[in-house]
Structure 1
């Protein structure tokens, strides 16, 4: 049986870094500790039978460089030698990657652990603040992001290291607050009898919310994808689509505020993911911020907590690159998640 490498051992360059979501796979090569990542075109997971074929076609066939290590961020829980993606049929098998593609070392983490690593050093140009609040140096941070699913992770500072905390926070309950919410909620499609945050705050969740609004108002739903809803909201052709986007922002703000309280995230709450970057021009920042601060009896605490939208399009790769350059700056638990040849 191949032994697990000691977690303090540095990774060998060149290093392949990859952000693998339910829909898109993003790859880059890090030639050494000082080089900027060399990125490759984004590929669709649905276009490949497995991650092995995607790495071969999207990276190895496009360069003469043979990476010695791989650091992969996967949209799903990392547990064992066969890692299932939550919203994709891909199964990641690190030992097969080593045997088939020639890696000497493979590290696998949750995709929102990578997002958490990114917010440890995100430049000002890669973020946009919504409302008031000042980030406290060394304080806990939270990142959440709606995309194919809804990812959540924390980031805490201890012993001079940033420590990412992965979880399944996207599956907590999300409940109605206002009379409009109470009218819409019975028309949402539940999952096993409950409305989780991910039933609203992701791509399919936006469609779920839009359809529920239409049913509530006795309209016929005409949009069937997140992209169509966003387009219809932008051009004003569908009032239900516009309301869906605004309520999406309010509900995302509420959940962000809940998580800020859980982690006492005085270092900031960061909103990322593919959906948020697409709908930024349509969002009412005041609604987003109001939902975030609406946390009596702790509204004053939330008013002091900064809220950011991540505008860096490849934030997860930024976090992976930071980790790959020097893993010892980060308290990432690699026991059972790091394989060697």
Structure 2
């Protein structure tokens, strides 16, 4: 077995974040964020990172990816990158390469988060030791959770962001009709993600017979918060409300009475707007199970790169999925 640190990488649709872990139990260090579009693939990005931090090679590695990991060949959902796990292990001369879903890695980090890295939204106290749920919007929509076992917490490896979008009023029904004509199947991710914000904005413009501007996700968010474009205002309102409904669906499905954690990059970007948004009201609007979900706390994850901690923990515990 080689000497040297472990390499961890959080691979999203837009960015890849690398770090080194000196030994089991250590925190990830020497973090660096790179644009995926700047590199032909994962191997090239990893070599560039190792060169920049002055490390000749890593001993082991754990990578998370924004897609399901079902075979040796991994193809990212929202990125052109694809790679073979075994070929990448050999190319980087690693003793071990672990590849898991990005929200599985984030779920593994939840027990390592500090109180000041979380911001509570609404009420609820939760049940200690009960399952917890995880959802988060960024380039895509990730979903996971943790279940208590005798050996510790067991993360869910799934693709819950691709369940069908569930509208709750006529306006959202209209958005669904427009998006169905465009995409066919309208997943939750088609609405609750960066591209989803743009798609909802464009759908609202179509419903109102207005020509949509060529906006990027961050422009929709900024204009919505500033109130400078009525369709952007409505788009982020629908995003927050839909996220509340999807979160409640996840909680009742998993029996996650321990709480719901919100990851991803979009909600933190919304800042104070999110606390006055329809999120928590829609979360608690669950008919006969409204009281059930009202007792479940919801937290925003404020930590910058928590998934890297989850990957370090996965290597430390030899997590096998």
TM-score by length of 1: 0.88
Contact 1:191 / 1:199 at 8 angstroms: preserved in 2? no
Counterpart residue number, 1:218: 209
| Displacement over 4 Å in runs of 4+ | 10-13, 189-192
Counterpart residue number, 1:282: 273
| Structure 2 residue 127 is matched with structure 1 residue 140 | no
**Equivalent-residue separation in structure 2 for 1:70 and 1:223 (angstroms):** 40
Contact 1:175 / 1:195 at 8 angstroms: preserved in 2? no
Contact 2:106 / 2:310 at 8 angstroms: preserved in 1? yes
Counterpart residue number, 2:173: 182
Counterpart residue number, 1:106: 97
CA deviation digits over 1:50-109, x for unaligned, max 9? 100000002334223531000111111112221111111212222222322221111111
Counterpart residue number, 1:338: none
**Equivalent-residue separation in structure 2 for 1:281 and 1:44 (angstroms):** 28
Contact 1:27 / 1:59 at 8 angstroms: preserved in 2? no
**SS of corresponding position for 2:100:** strand
Which of 239, 259, 266 pairs up with 2:250?
259
Q: 1:179 to 1:192 in 2, by over 3 A?
A: closer
1:69-218 map, 5 Å: 69-189=60-180, 193-218=184-209
**Equivalent-residue separation in structure 2 for 1:196 and 1:75 (angstroms):** 16
- Gaps in structure 2 of 5+ consecutive residues: none
- Gaps in structure 1 of 5+ consecutive residues: 1-9, 335-341
Contact 1:139 / 1:156 at 8 angstroms: preserved in 2? yes
Q: 1:216 to 1:203 in 2, by over 3 A?
A: same
**Equivalent-residue separation in structure 2 for 1:180 and 1:174 (angstroms):** 13
CA deviation digits over 1:257-305, x for unaligned, max 9? 0000000101111111122222233324451101111111100000101
Deviation at 1:180, TM superposition (A): 2.5
**Equivalent-residue separation in structure 1 for 2:270 and 2:187 (angstroms):** 21
**Equivalent-residue separation in structure 1 for 2:135 and 2:4 (angstroms):** 30
* Residues matched between the structures, number: 321
Counterpart residue number, 2:42: 51
Counterpart residue number, 1:304: 295
TM-score by length of 2: 0.93
Contact 1:21 / 1:148 at 8 angstroms: preserved in 2? yes
